[in-house]
A = this chain, B = another copy of it.
Amino acid sequence: MCNRHSGDKKGSGCRCGGGLPVEKFMQPCLLILLKQRSSHGYDLLQQLTEFGFSERLDPGSVYRTLRRLEDEGLVTSHWDVGEGGPARRLYSLSDEGEEMLHAWAVHIRQQRKRMDAFLERYQSIFGKQD
């Protein structure tokens, strides 16, 4: 098993071969979360569990992905030195990011079709209950 599966322990090793890479799928999830409301990395890290990411998801991956999204102009950020606690970087979705979100939706629907093609063939061989 691997930490790509929700609920897995960190560092348990992975032999399953993955499928959907963590950081890649994280991108559209972050974009859609930021479409709903602007937020900072640590908060987004926790919201990501709603999309099936592990509760032990590596924070470094989230911050790195956010920086990359900013490099690509899909999100913007500014420092938020507010009421107590360390300073946080507040991210917002850009217009370009919203466009990319639509592109991702198309892409993900395609991927899902491919998975359905696989699962249908699988069930036609092994049966539904398997």
Q: B-contacting residues of A (Cβ < 8 Å)?
A: 5-6, 16-21, 24-25, 27-29, 32, 35-36, 50-52, 100-105, 107-119, 121-122, 125-126, 130
| Interface contact B16-A19, CB-CB below 8 Å | no
Q: Across the interface, which residues of B come within 8 angstroms of A18, CB to CB?
A: 24
| Pairwise interchain contact A114-B52, C-beta atoms closer than 8 A | yes
Query: A19 touches which one: B17, B108, B130 (CB < 8 A)?
Result: B108
**Do the beta carbons of A19 and B29 come within 8 Å of each other?**
no
Q: How far is the CA of A7 from the CA of B25 in the complex (A)?
A: 22
What is the minimal beta-carbon distance from A53 to any residue of chain B, in angstroms? Answer: 8
- Nearest chain B CB to A108's CB is how many angstroms away? 5
B35, B101, B109, B121: the one within 8 Å of A32 (CB): B121
Residue of B whose beta carbon sits closest to that of A125: B35
Are A122 and B105 closer than 8 Å at their CB atoms? Answer: yes
The 7 closest A-B pairs by CB, nearest first: A52-B114, A20-B111, A112-B115, A105-B122, A51-B117, A19-B111, A108-B115
